[in-house]
Structure 1
């Protein structure tokens, strides 16, 4: 596994490594800028509060290994703070308000536009940001005219050979998936003596209320006694390495399509290429 600031992503495609003149001279028509957004929030007693941001940095580090070098894609520093108030009652959680995060993301987008870029990807690794970030895509589009795309790592498919069906569906926070990934990237950050299980049986057995559908409001204290939702006991570094490889290859394919996507112009006569 590559570490932060190692590999092609950081050596060749980390936008802040360039000088202002270098950025000014970059071709902008086909450039794609990635804004990773993570979180600093509790992940139980076994994972670091930096988990979501670490996952964003690591998976994108791996993803760039699968991208053609000629592709004009650039990486911004991860935004580590986001909307984490569902975990606010736990030590170490640092949360931005809904309106503050809106303003920060819009200001970043306007700055990217001011530098001449026309395509922005919001790359999110924290489920609590989902609704806000999806709304912000359209707001940025309207405000700046940029093409705006969204990738949420939690929506990517998980190999059913790695975890059971309950864990894949309901292990949404500090469970086997996230624990495996941190074990693969920063094993020294995992307190393995504290790995545990906590899954809300009430939600597992509900017919209509599902995390994936986002059709009910909850805080972590509503669904967990120890700050996690999942079975971290089923985690391993090997599973984490497999997940990183599978997700990175898929994200690279998604980025390729986003880099080439253009809207057709619509007029009264119909669609014109």
Structure 2
């Protein structure tokens, strides 16, 4: 499953920038959903490209759009390739935006979409360092523009769980089995498996200090010598292909649910 950028339904039919202004104007706005991926350029250990997060977002969305119905009124924007990656600064290749810069870029894109008449936006995130910021931005965009804003972090959908060990599911948060497998399946020549490490931080055995609860602030140098958290050595192309298909199916379910959702349905009629 080698990834071919700009090929497939996501790019040939549903890629927003390929449309002319007349085609954009003709899109029925009342049920249109616009997808904005937000990624990162940051270190992913000694074996993986610094483009990993943005690449994975493109790969999973490409798969999802292949599975969407042909008449789905859902449109894909180019990914914002840079994210807030300050926790990886000091590792070669990490390029980060400040929180204020990323927030301003996302808000400007949202305002532009609203000017074109769109009513629904989904922020698809593929980097953990963006999560809290984008959650906050969703509400700010709602207040500022009136857009209905949805959030989707594919990594939290469990699309890789059946192929991961219990330890990897708990602690494989960066450049481990899942990410390495997906990138191997998409761009095998970008992965250097001869350098793939295994490293799990010594996480506290306390429910109050669980890493995924974000109970304490950390940077990557607090967790790891190699720049990863997980086991990259067990990654395979076969697993990456299967994970991509499963994540694609979950993303389709989410996008169709967002598209069908009516914000006005939340209030009970008097």
**Class of the TM-score when normalised by the shorter of the 2 chains:** over 0.9
TM-score by length of 2: 0.96
Shift of 1:205: 3.3
| Aligned-partner Cα distance in 2 for 1:18–1:204 | 51
Gap change, CA 1:94 and 1:236, over 3 Å in 2:
same
CA displacement at 1:159 relative to structure 2: 4.4
The offset of 1:208, in angstroms, is 2.4
Matches within 5 A, 1:178-257: 178-201=179-202, 203=203, 205-257=205-257
Work out whether residues 170 and 204 of structure 1, in 8 Å CA contact, stay in contact via their aligned partners in 2.
no
The change in CA–CA distance for 1:8 and 1:114 in structure 2 (over 3 A counts) is same
Contact 1:196/1:233 (<8 A) preserved: yes
Q: 2:261: which partner in 1?
A: 261
Write the mapping of 1:57-68 to structure 2, written as runs, cut at 5 A: 57-68=58-69
1:272 paired residue number: 269
| Secondary structure at 1:121 match in 2 | strand
Structure 1 residue runs of 5 or longer lacking an equivalent are: none
| Whole-Å separation in 2 of the counterparts to 1:186 and 1:205 | 37
Contact 2:160 2:247 in 1 (8 A): no
Which deviates more from structure 2 when the two are superposed, residues 205-214 or residues 75-84?
Answer: 205-214
Q: Are 2:135 and 2:151, in contact at CA under 8 Å, matched by a contact in 1?
A: yes
3-state SS of 2:225 partner: coil
- 1:128 matched to 2:133: no
* Contact 1:264–1:272 under 8 Å retained in 2: no
Contact 1:158 1:168 in 2 (8 A): no
Report the Cα distance in structure 1 between the residues aligned to 2:111 and 2:259, rounded to whole angstroms. 20
What is the CA distance between 1:272 and its match in structure 2? 2.4
Displacement after TM superposition at 1:109 (Å): 0.5
Instruction: Tell me if 1:111 matches 2:79.
Output: no
- Per-residue deviation, 1:206: 3.9
In structure 2, distance between residues paired with 1:171 and 1:204: 15
**Which residue of 1 is the match for residue 152 of structure 2?**
151
Tell me the equivalent position of 2:71.
Answer: 70
- 1:27 matched to 2:28? The reply is yes
Q: TM-score, normalised by structure 1?
A: 0.95
Q: Deviations over 1:68-104 (max 9, x none)?
A: 1111000000000110000011111110001111111
Q: CA deviation at 1:158?
A: 4.1
The Cα offsets for residues 99-144 of structure 1, whole Å up to 9 and x where unpaired, read as: 1111111001001111110000000000000100000000000000
Alignment of 1:13-24 (within 5 A): 13-24=14-25
Q: CA RMSD in A?
A: 1.4
Find the residue that maps to 1:272 and give its secondary structure.
Answer: coil
- 1:176–1:145 CA distance, 2 compared to 1 (3 A): same
Q: Deviations over 1:154-200 (max 9, x none)?
A: 21114443121010111010101100000110000001110011110
Total equivalences in the alignment: 269
Contact 1:120 1:148 in 2 (8 A): yes
Is 2:178–2:240's contact at 8 Å kept on the other side of the alignment?
yes
